[in-house]
Amino acid sequence: MTVQDPATGAERFVIVPASYVFFLREYDDAVTEVLLQLRRGTGYMDEHWAAAAAGHVERGETAEAAARREAAEEVDVTDLGLEFLTAMQRTAHDLPIDERVDFFFAARTWSGEPRIVEPAKCADLRWFPLDALPDPVVPHERFVLDALRSGRVPPLTSFGF
């Protein structure tokens, strides 16, 4: 997306920041599961599985604070033990807002039991083994989940270029 600079009249590039939280739990000492939501009624990637909590970083808010806020708002959990995974520069040239920087976090500890808080936007909330993800998963999120499963998540990733 671009905006016009009021001082110069030049078109300026705008990046939209967002934070994502992948809730992870270990089970049977060998299986890692991730909590995903089924998007519905959002107008973006509906009927795709996605991070249980995600959203835009608000003005004056850090990416970590946004992750904590989104977790409280979307699945009613607090006190997250957040682990930074990767920052992703992302583009989708066919969308009106096509330049983003996404901050991905993992949470292995939290307070509360995750639940659907926004039923108009979330049709289901379910745990999946990292090696048996549902189909379809939002593509750029799937990219990070695949890297997480492999044990090799680089600190900086790009998607859509």
Section 13-28 average pLDDT:
90
Section 94-113 average pLDDT:
87
Section 25-51 average pLDDT:
93
| Lookup result for tokens 């890692």 | 32
- pLDDT band at 5, cuts 50/70/90? low
Lowest-confidence pick of 17-21, 30-34, 65-69, 75-79? 30-34
Section 92-111 average pLDDT:
84
For the chain, what is the radius of gyration of the CA atoms? 16
- pLDDT band at 84, cuts 50/70/90? very high
Q: What is the pLDDT of residue 50?
A: 98
E-strand spans in the chain? 2-4, 11-13, 16-27, 31-39, 49-51, 53-56, 82-91, 99-107, 122-129, 156-159
Measured between alpha carbons, how far is 39 from 50 in angstroms, rounded to an integer? 7
Average pLDDT, the chain: 92
**CATH 3.40.50.1860 is held by the domain 12-159:** no
Query: pTM for the full model?
Result: 0.90
Q: Is the pLDDT of residue 99 over 90?
A: no
DSSP result, 64-108 = HHHHHHHHHHHH--BS--EEEEEEEEEE-TTSSS-EEEEEEEEES
Nearest residue to 88 (alpha-carbon basis) of 122, 63, 65: 63
Asked if 105 and 82 touch (Cβ cutoff 8 Å), the reply is yes
Q: What is the pLDDT of residue 30?
A: 79
Domain extent listing, the chain: 12-159
Q: Is the pLDDT of residue 2 over 90?
A: no
